[in-house]
Amino acid sequence: MRPFFLADKTFFGGFLHFSTLSSRYNIRMGTNAKMINSIKDNVAKVLFAVAMGEDLSKLEIKARTGLSMSTVISAVDRLVERDLVTFSEEKSPHGGKMRSRINVRPSARAYGISYRAGVLTATAADLKGEARESVSQEAEEGVLPVHSVLSLALALQNRAPDPLAIALSLNCENKEDVLKRLEDRLGVKAISMTNTAAVCYLSLWEEGEKSIAAIGVGSGVKCAFLGEEGCRVINLGALPSPCLLTEGGTILSALSSFEVEEVLRRSSYRGRYFVQNGFPAEVKDLAEYSRALAKTVAFLANVAQITLTPKKIVLFGDYFSETFFARVKDAAKTENLAYLQAERSDLALGAALCALTESVFS
């Protein structure tokens, strides 16, 4: 496909779509204290408190963080020097001392890039965790070419302020090289992650607590756990596919990866599959296959609960329906399961929130 141009940047393949966003994943006020307590660095703790407030005074920051006034003053001075917060003073209408007004810099951004269901998306989030700018581009299934990821990052940079950090939630060619090239081009830290990890960070910024597991269900299953020591990802393998045994003794898979996802999406699937390998073979009824898959996912959720002891397990997937989730929940022995609908799983925002959490608020 012929490249097309935007400003002085070149982009390849598909159409770029631009939008300005307002995120639904704002941290609820009741969760602020949990997040503040989980941040170990005092300067980052003050920055987060400022990000979650408006026109805060140093006294208010002290109350929200539990830090001493001298620590708050020192942290605010450092954040002003780094151009992460703005500081002004005004006289109280009732007289007396000057009142300080401290806010995060509105133009501060973290970038996140993700791939899902044929679309490559890059999102910029502000320090409040709200999505502000986004660009997207159609992309073919499989490992993404380097130029697609780099060009989309530059497209976002054309629309949004320069980032403080960036995170990638996707598979692409020479990923380590892509991360290094992004760091060189943008001058910030680049983080590699997965979609399951992105869901953990979405949940963190919604719930405010670091004890979350996310299980992504497609043709395979991955689990991410976000705790006090950071985020780790476990590949739980492929979902079982019913097999066909031909007369010649050859075992063949009845379902492709795509067809497994179709079973997940429809929750119940009936069909007849024929495989010609010298002798015909047949599977007559796959109505129970969806239930078998649900039991498998429920078992993996139970394993995650026992080994990781999260306070919440989020299940998600592009083909993960409410009916399928209900079957998993019925079969699982843990009560803390949640279901993230595909249309709510803004994975590029989750990646940006990871960049904020691990690079800016750490």
Same domain, 198 and 309: no
Domain stop point among 104, 135, 156: 104
In a domain, 2, yes or no: no
Highest mean pLDDT among 18-27, 162-171, 221-230, 264-273: 162-171
What one-letter code names the amino acid at 7? A
For residue 322, what is the enclosing H or E element? helix 322-331
Q: Give the chain's domain count.
A: 3
Of 102-111, 214-223, 275-284, 331-340, the poorest mean pLDDT is in 275-284
Same domain, 269 and 143: no
Whole-number Å distance between alpha carbons of 189 and 28: 28
Of 238-242, 272-276, 352-356, the poorest mean pLDDT is in 272-276
Of 196-205, 233-242, 312-321, 353-362, the poorest mean pLDDT is in 233-242
| Residue 209: predicted pLDDT | 76
| Residue 199: predicted pLDDT | 92
In a domain, 141, yes or no: yes
Same domain, 51 and 160: no
Average pLDDT over residues 107-120: 89
CATH of the domain at 150: 3.30.420.40
Structure tokens at 358: 């691990």
In a domain, 148, yes or no: yes
Q: Are 125 and 104 in contact (CB under 8 A)?
A: no
Residue 89 has pLDDT above 70, yes or no: yes
Average pLDDT over residues 212-217: 89
Average pLDDT over residues 346-354: 92
Same domain, 159 and 270: no
| Residue 337: predicted pLDDT | 92
Q: Are 135 and 144 in contact (CB under 8 A)?
A: no
92 vs 39, 77, 100, 137, CA distance in Å? 32, 22, 10, 50
Whole-number Å distance between alpha carbons of 193 and 214: 13
Residue 32 has pLDDT above 70, yes or no: no
Residue 20 has pLDDT above 90, yes or no: no
Task: For tokens 């006289």, name the residue.
Answer: 91
pLDDT over 90 for what percent of the chain? 22
Q: Are 174 and 146 in contact (CB under 8 A)?
A: yes
Same domain, 212 and 340: yes
In DSSP terms, which residues pair with 18 in a beta bridge? 135
Task: For tokens 């910029």, name the residue.
Answer: 124
| Residue 16: predicted pLDDT | 43
| Residue 259: predicted pLDDT | 62
Same domain, 100 and 114: no
At 290, the pLDDT band (50, 70, 90 cuts) reads low
CA 212-26-28 angle, to 5 degrees, is 75
In DSSP terms, which residues pair with 20 in a beta bridge? 133
Q: What is the pTM of this model?
A: 0.77
Domain stop point among 104, 128, 157: 104
* Residue-number span of the structural domain to which 321 is assigned: 207-344
Q: Which of 213, 203, 211 is nearest to 227 (CA)?
A: 211
